[in-house]
Amino acid sequence: MNDSKQAAAAYEGWQTLVRKYSKPDLRKSIWQVVNSFGGLLISWAILYYSLSVGYWLTLLLAIPAAGFLVRIFIIQHDCGHNSFFESKRINDIVGITASIFTFIPYFYWRKSHAIHHAHHAELEERGIGDVWTLTVEEYYTASKWKQLAYRVYRNPFFLFLLAPLLYFVVLMRFPSSDSKHWTKQEVASFWWTNLMLAGKIALLSAFFGFGNTIAIVAPLIAVASCVGTWLFYVQHQFERTYWDHTPQWDYTLAAMHGSSYYKLPPVLQWMTGNIGFHHIHHLSPRIPNYRLQQVHEENPMFQQVTQLTIASSLKTISLTLWDEERRRLVTFREGLMAWRSASATT
């Protein structure tokens, strides 16, 4: 039995443990819809009145208000996993409704995110629904142009500030060039989302005015998209994460060792819909977000994972390359030293 199989054996029987948590609670789901969408609507009104004081106040208030938008994304996310309601039809209706606020085409994102779950941390299956990650060897044998592109992509200013806006506001408006891999429904979800977004902006403009609407919506989507990108990044991109080649890749290890437990203060945990319990979510995506903490706390088996706090998570920003020899993410400087060392011995 190799090391991977031995490590996976430690989680034997997890399917039985999580089964009882996988049934949605209708009252909790409805209440989350009410407090998330209701909170955002109230925030819009507050932001509108803040404009009369000064745009500086609007921008300041947009930061906590964006938390409701993040919660709406988590609802869309759960609906995409068919875990928020028992009815698939209701999941789709609520998920599509959420997409009008999140800017993310529901059916397209549902498919790409399913691919992420099915192949997360599998080196041969990178490219859909993940953060661009190269190995040390791939980076140092790549062309100068590819190295430059990768360095720009991995620059924190681009990755956490510019890329989120580019992805959510621009790229999510049009099907990608590989749209031949998606169904007609998934491609059409781009156009339906754009149409519904236009309708939402028109409706808000009728109440607030077009200029005021943009002044309110723009900072909300900007903050929420940056927060969402950071959460996705930090829950997979940490030093002792897990990556492996297809023959050795293991679903359980990818979930438990390739996803972090991001321990956030209660308010931030609420605003982010418990997504910090990401190892549990990856292990069983059918568990509703409001049950994730319960699963973690009631089962010691799931507590032996990488735990990050806000302070410790900031250290992950400099990690850029996967070192296959040491099986950890390293900085560009560490990667160069590893590459030179490997080259000297060959």
Q: What would the pLDDT profile of 220-248 be if each residue is shown by its tens digit?
A: 999 999 999 999 999 999 999 999 999 89
CA dihedral 15, 18, 19, 25 (to 10 degrees): -160
pLDDT computed for residue 120 by the predictor: 92
Closest Cα partner for 201 from 186, 220, 185? 220
pLDDT computed for residue 175 by the predictor: 87
Closest Cα partner for 189 from 112, 297, 242? 112
Closest Cα partner for 169 from 231, 209, 79, 229? 229
Contact 80, 92 (CB under 8 A): no
| Total domains, the chain | 1
pLDDT computed for residue 15 by the predictor: 87
State the first-to-last Cα distance of the chain, in angstroms, to the nearest integer.
Answer: 30
pLDDT computed for residue 252 by the predictor: 92
How much is the pTM?
A: 0.93
- In three-state secondary structure terms, 328 is strand
Contact 197, 180 (CB under 8 A): no
pLDDT computed for residue 128 by the predictor: 81
Tell me how many degrees the CA angle 187-123-148 measures, rounded to the nearest 5. Answer: 80
User: Which residue range is the domain that position 50 belongs to?
Assistant: 3-344
Give the span between the Cα atoms of 281 and 311, in whole angstroms: 23
pLDDT computed for residue 1 by the predictor: 40
Q: What would the pLDDT profile of 120-177 be if each residue is shown by its tens digit?
A: 999 999 888 889 999 999 999 999 999 999 999 999 999 999 999 999 999 999 987 6
Give the span between the Cα atoms of 149 and 152, in whole angstroms: 5
Contact 273, 74 (CB under 8 A): yes
pLDDT computed for residue 307 by the predictor: 95
pLDDT-flagged residues of the chain (< 50): 1
Q: How many CB atoms lie within 10 A of CB 19?
A: 12
